[in-house]
């Protein structure tokens, strides 16, 4: 099967519109070595658009690096909790880290700082500090069930799908959902479904055009789908802007 120039252009435009600037994506391997990023991403994604999730993750990374963390930090639950202690609690974290180096934060979807702190605290109390700890816990059904109950107790927005998403980010085997690429391509092209061959061709061609690996584009699409399933589509912009909240 050969893709048309129009199909490729549409796919590339959809990637840029939905997934944002590839330069701002987090490498999948970073999540598998950094439980803090997994916690922030999964908690924030429970009630936020994909692009807002990326923003909070990136601002945490920028904050940690400004505090002298390694170029590729491997923070765990304890390091994440320490960031709350450094700034004086969840309300301050939302402004000083969740909106790091931004004068304004969108009042519609602010960082879910309290839930992020609570999730990290529950995991740490159950002796889960690193992504490696979480992957090891996957081999202990009783502990994994206890961890899931603790995770779901954080917020009403945290459900089974969100828990599975969190495990997937941390690299727990057998958790990644399939079919997200085909759904993404089908909706991009305005179709009910997209054949597997067409999907793979467009993924590889779009990745080449965007100067990415197909694996990185796969991961970004999968994250976007996980954060977008069953959500009401956002209305097209009318040019109006919501009021912005000034943060300290």
pLDDT tens digits in sequence order for the chain, 248 residues long: 578 999 999 999 999 999 888 887 777 788 889 999 999 999 988 866 666 777 888 889 888 888 877 656 689 999 999 999 999 999 999 888 877 444 445 544 457 899 999 999 999 999 999 999 999 999 999 999 999 999 999 998 888 888 988 998 898 876 555 566 888 999 999 999 888 889 989 999 999 999 988 878 887 887 787 766 544 333 333 333 222 222 22
* pTM, to two decimals: 0.70
For the chain, domain boundaries: 5-22+178-226, 34-175
Q: 172-209 burial string, b = 16+ CB within 10 Å, else e?
A: beeebeeebbbbbbbbbbeeeebeeebbbbbbebbbee
Residue 110 pLDDT = 58
Q: How many CB atoms lie within 10 A of CB 138?
A: 17
Residue 103 pLDDT = 42
Residue 116 pLDDT = 95
Residue 179 pLDDT = 63
Residue 123 pLDDT = 98
Residue 152 pLDDT = 96
Residue 246 pLDDT = 25
Copy the structure tokens of residue 62: 């920028």
Max CA separation in the chain (angstroms): 57
- List the one residue out of 26, 88, 18 whose CA is nearest residue 231: 18
**Element (DSSP H or E) covering residue 169:** helix 160-169
Look-up of token digits 């089974």: 160
**Strands (DSSP E) along the chain, which ranges?**
104-106, 244-246
User: In angstroms, what CA-CA distances link 23 with 26, 146, 196, 241?
Assistant: 8, 37, 27, 26
């Amino acid at each position: 099967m050969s893709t048309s120039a129009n199909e490729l252009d549409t796919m590339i435009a959809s990637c840029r519109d939905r997934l944002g600037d590839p330069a701002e994506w987090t490498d999948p391997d970073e999540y598998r070595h950094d439980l803090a990023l997994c916690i922030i991403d999964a908690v924030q994604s429970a009630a936020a658009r994909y692009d807002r999730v990326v923003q909070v993750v990136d601002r945490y990374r920028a904050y940690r690096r400004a505090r002298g963390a390694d170029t590729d930090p491997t923070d765990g639950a304890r390091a994440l909790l320490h960031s709350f202690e450094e700034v004086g609690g969840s309300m301050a974290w939302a402004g000083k880290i969740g909106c790091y180096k931004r004068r304004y934060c969108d009042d519609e979807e602010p960082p879910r700082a309290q839930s992020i702190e609570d999730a990290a605290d529950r995991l740490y109390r159950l002796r889960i500090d690193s992504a490696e700890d979480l992957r090891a816990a996957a081999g202990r059904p009783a502990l994994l069930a206890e961890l899931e109950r603790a995770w779901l107790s954080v917020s009403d927005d945290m459900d089974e799908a969100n828990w599975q998403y969190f495990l997937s980010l941390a690299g727990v085997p057998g958790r990644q959902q399939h079919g997200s690429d085909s759904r993404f391509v089908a909706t991009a092209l305005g179709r009910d479904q997209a054949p597997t061959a067409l999907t793979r061709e467009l993924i590889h061609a779009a990745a080449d055009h965007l100067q990415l690996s197909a694996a990185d584009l796969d991961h970004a699409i999968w994250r976007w789908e996980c954060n977008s399933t069953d959500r009401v589509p956002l209305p097209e912009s009318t040019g109006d802007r919501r009021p912005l909240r000034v943060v300290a």
